[in-house]
Amino acid sequence: MLLRKTTWYWKSGLAAISYVLILSISGCSDAPPEEDTVSETVIDVQAISEESQKDAEEIINICIDLYEKAAEENKLADLEMIQSIVNRLGENGYPAVDSRNQVNMTEAGQVLEFCEKVDVQEEAEITILEVSYLGGFVKYDLHTKDGNVDVVRSYYKYENGDIQRQVTGNYQAEYWNYTEEGYLMFSGVWFSEELYVLTLSGTEEHTALRVQPLDGTYRELSQKYLCPIGFEQNNMFLVDWCEDDFGNLNFYDMYDILYPKVNGAYVPYAANGNLAVSAVYRIPKEEFESVIMKYFNIDSEMLQSKTVYYLEDSTYEYKPRGFEEAEYPEYPYSEVVGFTENSDGTITLTANVVFPYAGDSKVYAHEVVVRPLEDGGVQYVSNRIIPSEDNYRETWHTPRLTLEEWEELYGGE
């Protein structure tokens, strides 16, 4: 079991949804700000210096042709294209990284120097660019004095051949940390005129920027074996399991994740539109097993013991996740930091779990063993949580209902 290391607060769903529509997954505090606080902050935002505006125009001119090319080729979210934009910005002297930390930061030395100035409470400023996979970038203008860090955050979006500023806000960082794993993480609550109209509150922001470079092979292994599973609505990387008994690995969650990879379509067994009623399906044995067995070396007897199986008609019971099993959409991600090629053809990956929302670049570490297949596929062999007193409880995860919980909610119907 993972232990809790820090805490954070549940945020307003309406505000989070509004912000998702504008840029990315984030959220806001439940309590509306006091009127004078909002007015003061909006004035600060509108008073952004002419130098900063001029700087933004220069940045746009540097990369506009790459955005135009990406749009023409429908590759605004393509990793290779994102990397080319990051590199172009770096060639022009700007610290830049992508919003998923899959590309090494350019001009990282400038960021390290700024962090040192924060530590010794000297005055300094820097601009850091975060290239988004939604077709734009975030411009962070940071200013430090007396150990405090003020942040002006501006989001620029590419649309119809032009890059325009969409949202600007500012705040003083309530949390600031350059971590041992090489991440700059900061957070705070900021206000902008645009977002306040939608949310009637401030937006809680959690930023995680990998400053130190990561080996390219580590990145490839993460993208090939860990990112496709992730942490959304599954416990694959949260519990210890292996091919001997698979422990508490939930194969219904794995079915949800792996079905689209095998069949190229979403799982056809949908939840009931009536929240008071739970849908229950019986999936033919071959259909269910063809999905699971493509990624796990497991026999029918073992799989049946880990699920609800009906021998009389050779079907697996399946209940879609319902309202009670929903999760708040803030998830960590695994980042390979080492690996070993084993004599049996498997690979042991050592990975840190990074959780931007909690400001933690090592929530815990785990070892994942994978078996690459000749056809380019993979089988997952095991997962092991590396014990540590600093390990963090998986508070983002909502497990599927147990049989007892399901019967209590739905009366066994």
Place of tokens 């029918």: 300
Specify which residues 382 forms β-bridges with.
242, 369
Q: In what order do the strands lie in the sheet with 281-284?
A: 281-284, 315-318, 309-310
Helix (H) or strand (E) holding 54: helix 50-72
Specify which residues 144 forms β-bridges with.
124, 149
Burial of 198-231, coded b for 16+ CB within 10 Å and e otherwise, reads: bbebbbbbbbbbbbbebeeebbebbeebbeebeb
Distance CA 160, CA 148 (A): 39
Are the C-beta atoms of residues 320 and 271 closer than 8 Å to each other?
yes
Handedness of CA 86, 90, 94, 96 (dihedral sign): positive
Distances in whole angstroms, Cα of residue 163 to Cα of each of 7, 87, 104, 274, 343: 37, 18, 24, 43, 52
Helices assigned H by DSSP within 148-221: 193-199, 216-221
Distance CA 374, CA 363 (A): 34
> Which of helix, strand or coil describes residue 278?
coil
Are the C-beta atoms of residues 205 and 171 closer than 8 Å to each other?
yes
Place of tokens 């519990």: 239
Distance CA 284, CA 317 (A): 9
Specify which residues 141 forms β-bridges with.
127, 152
Are the C-beta atoms of residues 170 and 143 closer than 8 Å to each other?
no
**pLDDT tens-place values along the chain, 413 residues long:** 343 333 333 333 333 333 333 333 333 233 333 333 333 334 344 555 566 667 899 999 999 999 999 999 999 999 999 999 999 999 999 999 999 999 999 999 999 999 999 999 999 999 999 999 999 999 999 999 999 999 999 999 999 999 999 988 889 999 999 999 999 999 999 876 665 556 656 788 999 999 999 999 999 999 999 999 999 999 999 999 999 999 999 999 999 999 999 999 999 999 887 766 788 999 999 999 999 999 999 999 999 999 999 999 999 999 999 889 999 889 999 999 999 999 999 999 999 999 999 999 999 999 999 999 999 999 999 999 999 998 988 889 999 999 899 988 887 54
Residue 81: partners with Cβ closer than 8 Å, 6 or more residues away: 66, 69, 70, 73, 75
Distance CA 362, CA 48 (A): 35
Domains and CATH numbers, the chain: 13-213 (no CATH), 214-413 (3.10.450)
The interaxial angle of helices 285-292 and 251-263, nearest 10 deg, is 90
The pTM for the full model equals 0.84
Distance CA 173, CA 176 (A): 6
> Which of helix, strand or coil describes residue 327?
coil
Specify which residues 187 forms β-bridges with.
175, 206
* Token duo for residue 251: 């194969």
* Token duo for residue 352: 């840190």
Query: Which candidate, 244, 343, 341, 352, places its Cα nearest to that of 299?
Result: 244
Distance CA 229, CA 256 (A): 11
